[in-house]
Each structure stands twice: as C-alpha cells, then as structure tokens.
Amino acid sequence: MDYFLELFLGGLTRGSIYALIALGYTMVYGIIELINFAHGEIYMIGAFTGLIVISVLTMLGWNSIAIIILAALIAMLYSAAYGFTIEKIAYKPLRGSQRLSALISAIGMSLFLQNYVLLAQTSNFLPYPNLIPTWDFLKPVGHIVRSTEIVIYIAAALVMVALTYLIKFTRMGKAMRAVAQDRDMSMLVGVDVNRVISFTFIIGSSIAALGGVLVASHIGQVNFYVGFIAGIKAFVAAVLGGIGSMPGAVLGSLVLGWTESFFTGYISSDYEDVFAFVFLVLILIFRPAGILGRSDTDKV
Amino acid sequence: MRKHFGRYFALIALFALAGLILFACGQQQEKSAEATKEAAPVEKAIEPVKLGVAGAHSGDLASYGIPTVRAAELIVKKRNAMSGACGRQIELLVEDDVCKPEVATNTATKLVTDGANVVVGHICSGATKAALGIYKESGIIAMSPSATNPALTQSGDYPNFYRTIASDDAQARLEVDFALDVLKFKKIAVLHDKGDYGKGLAEFAKGFLENDSRAEVVLYEGITPGAVDYSAVVQKIKRSEAEAVIFGGYHPEASKLVQQMRNKAMDTVFISDDGVKDDTFIKVAGEFAEGVYATGPVDTSSNPIAIEAVEMHKKEYGEEPGAFFLNAYAATLALLNAVEKSGSTDYDVLTKTLQSEWVATPLGIIKFDEKGDAIGVGFAMYQVQNGQYVTVEF
C-alpha cells in the first residue's frame, strides 16, 4: 500500500509539472488555434531567468522565501515579454495565412530560442538551488513527499482555478472567448483582437515561467534543452485532456503522470513512453476531442 | 617536492630501462653470433624492420586514425636518429582502411605483401576483425590502439592480436568486482539510460553479476533520458532493497537519480562509469554527489613519457594530439620494444616477449596477458570525496 501511495504521489508530481506547462499551451490553442511549439522554450527561459535572479540575490544574502518569490515574479515578467515579442514577430504576420505556416514558424521559433540560450548561456547542465525549505510538519513523511512537490501541486491547482475564472467570468475572458469563436465578427463588434491575443500570450508565458522556476528547483538542474522534452509531454497531456480546456489540461497531465508512474512502478520503465503514447492513441480513438474536449462540428 | 621526486624516479627508471634494452640487444647479437648456422642472420640484420600502420586515414573517421600515424612517425623518427631497433632501421608502411571491414582486408593483404613485420592497427573494431584473419595466416602480430570490442581478445580466435586500450566490458568488470569484492554487496540494481553506451555497460554488468553466485540482480531497468523526474524508478529501487545501484549512462541522468534517491532518504550506494566521472556531475549534484563511485581511465597526466610524447607532437605538428594518440604511442613502443629485446621479428619469439617483458609506455608500465589485453592499462575506481574525484585503492 505504501508503494502504491508513493507511486501515486510521484505521478501526481509529474502530472502537476506537466500541468503547469500544459495550461499555457492549451490556452493559446483555445484562443487562436495555434500550437505554440515555442512554449516549452519559454518555460526553459523562465527557469534560466529565475536562476540568474536567484544567484544574484543569494550573493546579496536575502531570505530564501523572498528570493524564490522575487525570482518567480521576475522570471514571469521577463518570459511574458518574450511571449509578447514572439507573437508579434513570428505569429502576427502570419495570422491571415494557412495554419501550417504559423505552425512552421512556431517550430522555427522553438529552435531559435534553444540555440540562443545555448550560445548566450551554456550547453552544460547547471545546478539549480532548491529554495523551498523543508517544513517541519512534513519531516515525518519527508521520504514520501517534499515541500517543493506540495508547492507544485498547489501552484498547478491555483493556476487552473485562476485561468478558468479569468476566461469564464471577466471582461477580458469574455473577449477571449469571443475571439476564439469568431475573430472577424469580434473585430466588427469592437473587440481589440490584437490586444486580446497579446494578453493571451503574456498570461500563457508567465505561467510557463512560474512552472520553469518551480520544476527546475524541484529537479535541481537546468540546461537549454529541458523545455523541449517537457513541452512535448505537456502538449500530449493537453491533447489527452482536450486541447483548449483548462480543467482538461490538468486532468490530461495527471492522467499522463499517473500512467507513467504506475507503468514504471508495476511493469517496467523501459517502455514508459511507449505505453504513455499508446494510452494517448487509445483515448483519442474513443474520444477524438480528448477527455474533456468538446467536439465542435465545423461550420459549413 | 613529491612531484620532483616522481620525475627523478621516472628518469632513473628510464635510464635503467635503456640500459636493459642495450643489454638485451647485446645479448641477442651474441646469441645470433653463436647461431650462425641459422638462415642468413647477417643479411637479416641489415634489413629494416617494417612497421605497418593501418587505420582510417581518410573519410569520416580519419580523426581516429591520423593520431596513430603521427605517434608511429614520431617514435620511428626518434629511434632511427639513434640506432633504430637493434641496429636495424625502422621503415613505416602506412595503409588506409577508412574504418571499413571490406577495405581492411585489402589493406591487410597489401601490408603482408609489402613485408610488414608487425602492424600497429587497425583502428575500428569491425575493420580490425576483418584484417586479423589475414595477419594470422601470415604470422604477423597486430596491436590496436583503439579497437575495444571484447570478443577480439576474449574469443581466442586471434592469438596474434594485442591492444593498448581496455575492452568495452572492462568498466563493467571493475564496477562488479568492486561491488562484490570490496563493498561485499549481495543485492544490486542495474540501471541504464537505454543508449548504446549505457545499455552496453549495463548488460555486461548484469551478465557478470548473474555469473557470480555472491550477488543477485534485484532490478534491471532502462530509464528515459531527459524525463522530468525519476521518482517512480527511485521508488522501485527502494522496494527492491538493493544495496547498490550500478548505472550505465551519463551525468545528467545520474545526478537526477542520485538527488532523488537522497531526497527520499535512501543511502543506496551509487556506482557508475566514466560518463559520470565528470566534474559537471559534482557541480550539478552538489552535496548529493558525495560518496558516489565512478570508474574512469587511469590518470596519465603525470606520466613523463606521456608528457614527452605530447610535447613532441606539439613541436612537430603544432597542435594538441588527437584521439588514441597515447594508446598508439604505447602500442608502437611495445612492439618496437619487443623486437629490440628479442632481436627478432619471428611470431613465436615476439609473442613470448610481449607476454613476459614489461615496457614503459605513456599509459604506464605494461605487458600483455595471454589473450592480448594489456595489463596495467584501463580503468581505476574513483569516489567523490569533498567535492572531488579521488582514486580508490583496493
């Protein structure tokens, strides 16, 4: 039973990590139907920015809680600027063209950012400090779950709730839904489409950066390539849960995390990825729009 | 002070060795003078010793083969300026095999027809295997600086083959021996990163452990490189109650595994390979790296012959030597030394000399075992102590 619980919590951690990335992915897709492949790179840039801030503040001798909060905030701001710029440079000029062009542009942006960080920073793995202290009440179960993991669970849940609220109940959310439904029509009724899309990218990128700082702090290392693999897995999770849906992204991430964890634990980790993707195919056969996705019939 | 002492000692050892060589030569000449009845020894003494050098000298893998040619050139130039081998000049025969087995057979045939006495080469395992049959029929000894395929020596098919590099399974052997003989563990988990290098090592380690009744493999798993975390695998190691993990792979996965194991309050010993014996591992894993074992090549940076060889290379070619240069230097030295000491290029005589006489090379003082692997070349066990890899003597 202990073993089951440990695997369950391990899967929950993995799932929450995927969720922090998948939420931004799925939101951008939901609004402009673009698979933003550079999203994983924004996550990686967030982690790097956080590391730089942490190094500087640690030298100044700040308190570790203050450091992690400030590092996360600065990383979110910086990555939001990146997300905003990427949209303006790589996606906006292609907005009227085929979806394939924007997709290729996204892949190009992803490769560009990876190599940019590789050249500007380093190709080596860098150690990432774990700044979240071990809480006293967790000490008895310290070998099962750590405080960083709990912070990741909470962050994923909070972000999901906040985004759902933002989209369902705010004015900006209403504009986002309108743009998602019919971009031309919303423009006609006076929605500033450019502003809505920029806002979407800013929010999506800052969530990715928050994930980057927390996850890198949990894993303890970072390099220029971490965003790529995490991004692919998060994309799979978003599709699994129903791309475009916030609770779907979280559910899909958790399902993927648990699938991997239990498969590794009870069968073998050799075919972990194979099994995860077979599971994805099976779900898509029976629910083509994902677990929580709505299958819209195309307007004729 | 210690360093200086080491250098003087090595110098003295060199002089002593040089003395031995001269002595051996003299002895041999006396012997051959005694045995004048044997076929034309006088003519033979004037004939040059033909040293074949085969390997990839062009194509994709040329960077593996060229350093060997340079090593041979440097030694031959130096030797010929002095007295050659026992008064016989040394002649180089350089042939290219582009690391392809089908070309290597032609290369070998060419060297045999040109009258090579001994061959340094080949470079790639596949090409070496293809060429060895031809040398075997002609009674020629071949010594590779780089062919690491275990079967080349262990199968016993090629008694004329020697090498100055440890075979692929040497690291796994050392890891297993260390875990069983020194640490006396009974339950061992073997993990790898599914890559050629890591999985290859893990398979050897698993094989050695299964053939040994002292320990059992409680877990054998491949992990996904680059995965966000390894908590499920770590739980599995914990459940298997393994006392040690032998990991085949590189440092990014190793540091994640070690960190997660220590975070889950596991003190399982971690033993790995030279993919982990890297300072980046210590930097990234930080305090968790303490106590981790890793095998790595024996340190040659303070070996006087190695320093001299590298200096000569820099002077002659104006750059740092490339891959397997020191191994090739050692192979050439070992072969010429055997020719000098025995005063002959006869297959049986050379075989006996190679297997009985120690020779000082850039890799240390070595000789060869019956199968053809060099004794004294290979891997040492290191442990992270106070943020540094330290050699473990056992």
H or E element at residue B93 = strand B90-96
Report the pLDDT value the prediction gives residue A273, as an integer from 0 to 100: 85
Report the pLDDT averaged over residues B102-127: 93
Report the pLDDT value the prediction gives residue B41, as an integer from 0 to 100: 45
Q: Which residues of chain B does A148 touch, with a Cβ-Cβ cutoff of 8 Å? A: none
Q: Assign B38 a pLDDT band (cuts: 50, 70, 90).
A: very low
Structure tokens, A38 = 């550079």
| Eight-state DSSP code of residue A140 | G
Give Rg (Cα) of chain A.
Answer: 19
Give the closest-approach CA distance of B251 to chain A in angstroms: 9
CA distance B336 to B140: 14
- Higher-scoring residue by pLDDT: B179, B168: B179
Give Rg (Cα) of chain B.
Answer: 23
For residue B333, pLDDT beyond 50: yes
For residue A248, pLDDT beyond 70: yes
How many interchain CB pairs under 8 A, A with B? 86
Residues of chain B numbered 260-319 and touching chain A (CB < 8 Å) = 263-266, 280, 283-286
How far lies B250's CA from each of A221, B236, B389, in Å? Answer: 14, 20, 16
How far lies B234's CA from each of A36, A143, B106, B263, in Å? Answer: 33, 11, 52, 10
Where do the domains of chain A lie, and which CATH numbers do they carry? 8-286 (1.10.3470)
H or E element at residue B379 = strand B379-385
Structure tokens, B138 = 């002609």
Answer whether B240's CB lies under 8 Å from B189's CB. Answer: yes
Report the pLDDT value the prediction gives residue B34, as an integer from 0 to 100: 45
Determine the Cα angle at A232 with ends A256 and A255, to 5°: 10
Contact A3 B265 (CB under 8 A): no
CA–centroid distance for B179 within its chain: 22
Q: Assign A296 a pLDDT band (cuts: 50, 70, 90).
A: low
Answer whether B367's CB lies under 8 Å from B163's CB. Answer: no
Report the pLDDT averaged over residues A15-37: 90
For residue B152, pLDDT beyond 80: yes
Contact A269 B259 (CB under 8 A): no
Determine the Cα angle at B80 with ends B77 and B83, to 5°: 150
Report the pLDDT averaged over residues B355-375: 90
Per-residue pLDDT tens digits for A189-237: 999 999 999 999 999 999 999 999 999 999 889 989 899 888 889 999 9
Structure tokens, B191 = 């993990």
Strands B379-385 vs A126-127: parallel, antiparallel or unpaired: unpaired
Q: Assign B8 a pLDDT band (cuts: 50, 70, 90).
A: low
Report the pLDDT averaged over residues A263-285: 88
Q: Which residues of chain A does B236 touch, with a Cβ-Cβ cutoff of 8 Å? A: 264-265, 269
Report the pLDDT value the prediction gives residue B195, as an integer from 0 to 100: 86
Report the pLDDT averaged over residues B4-22: 53
Cα(first)–Cα(last) distance of chain A, in Å? 54
| Eight-state DSSP code of residue B141 | E
Q: In 10 A of CB B315, how many CB atoms?
A: 9
Report the pLDDT value the prediction gives residue B32, as an integer from 0 to 100: 44
Give the closest-approach CA distance of A231 to chain B in angstroms: 11
Task: Return the minimum-mean-pLDDT range out of A56-60, A116-120, B40-44, B347-351.
Answer: B40-44
Structure tokens, B237 = 């190691």
For residue A257, pLDDT beyond 90: yes
B45 Cβ neighbours under 8 A, 6+ residues apart? B32, B86, B87, B88
Report the pLDDT value the prediction gives residue B281, as an integer from 0 to 100: 92
Share the mean pLDDT of chain A. 89
Where do the domains of chain B lie, and which CATH numbers do they carry? 2-165+300-375 (3.40.50.2300), 170-291 (3.40.50.2300)
Q: Is the pTM of this model over 0.80?
A: no
Report the pLDDT value the prediction gives residue B215, as an integer from 0 to 100: 92
A127 touches chain B (CB under 8 A): yes
How far lies A188's CA from each of A94, A95, A183, A184, A192, in Å? Answer: 20, 17, 9, 6, 10
Per-residue pLDDT tens digits for B196-226: 889 989 999 999 999 999 999 999 999 988 8
> What values do phi and psi take at B90, rounded to 5?
-110, 130
Q: Which residue of chain B has the CA closest to A230?
A: B228
Q: Which residue of chain B has the CA closest to A261?
A: B232
DSSP string, A69-121: HHHHHHHHHHHHHHHHHHIIIIIGGGTTS-HHHHHHHHHHHHHHHHHHHHHHS
Task: Return the minimum-mean-pLDDT range out of A118-132, B76-90, B357-371.
Answer: B76-90
Q: Which residues of chain A does B266 touch, with a Cβ-Cβ cutoff of 8 Å? A: 143
Q: Which residue of chain B has the CA closest to A126?
A: B284
Mutate which: B206, B219, B228, vs A, most A CBs within 10 A: B228
CA nearest A253: which of A147, A164, A157? A157
Report the pLDDT value the prediction gives residue B7, as an integer from 0 to 100: 58
Residue ranges of alpha helices (H) inside chain B are 2-34, 41-46, 62-82, 101-113, 125-137, 151-154, 170-177, 196-210, 231-240, 251-263, 279-285, 304-317, 325-342, 347-356
For residue A293, pLDDT beyond 80: no
Q: Helix A39-60 vs helix A2-32: angle between axes, to the nearest 10 degrees? A: 110
Report the pLDDT value the prediction gives residue A277, as an integer from 0 to 100: 86
**Closest CB from B222, B283, B284 relative to A269:** B222
Q: Assign A130 a pLDDT band (cuts: 50, 70, 90).
A: confident
B11 touches chain A (CB under 8 A): no
For residue B33, pLDDT beyond 70: no
Q: Assign B31 a pLDDT band (cuts: 50, 70, 90).
A: very low
A299 touches chain B (CB under 8 A): no
Q: Which residues of chain B does A146 touch, with a Cβ-Cβ cutoff of 8 Å? A: 263
**Closest CB from B232, B255, B284 relative to A265:** B232
Report the pLDDT averaged over residues B228-241: 90
Answer whether B289's CB lies under 8 Å from A220's CB. Answer: no
Per-residue pLDDT tens digits for B58-112: 888 888 899 999 999 999 999 898 877 777 889 999 999 998 999 999 999 999 9
Residues of chain B numbered 107-126 and touching chain A (CB < 8 Å) = none
Report the pLDDT value the prediction gives residue A85, as an integer from 0 to 100: 96
**Closest CB from A219, A221, A265 relative to B236:** A265
Residue whose token pair is 């083969």: B65
Structure tokens, A166 = 């933002």
In single-letter form, the type of residue at position B304 comes to P
Share the mean pLDDT of chain B. 86
CA distance B12 to B8: 6
- Higher-scoring residue by pLDDT: B7, A154: A154
Report the pLDDT value the prediction gives residue A244, as an integer from 0 to 100: 82
| Complex ipTM tops 0.90 | no
**Closest CB from B226, B259, B280 relative to A220:** B259
In single-letter form, the type of residue at position A221 comes to Q
Per-residue pLDDT tens digits for B304-332: 999 999 999 999 999 888 888 999 999 99
SS (H, E, C) A174-239: HHHHHHHHCHHHHHHCCCCHHHHHHHHHHHHHHHHHHHHHHHHHHHCEECCCHHHHHHHHHHHHHH
Strand, helix or coil for residue A300: coil
Determine the Cα angle at B310 with ends B308 and B314, to 5°: 115
Report the pLDDT value the prediction gives residue A197, as an integer from 0 to 100: 93
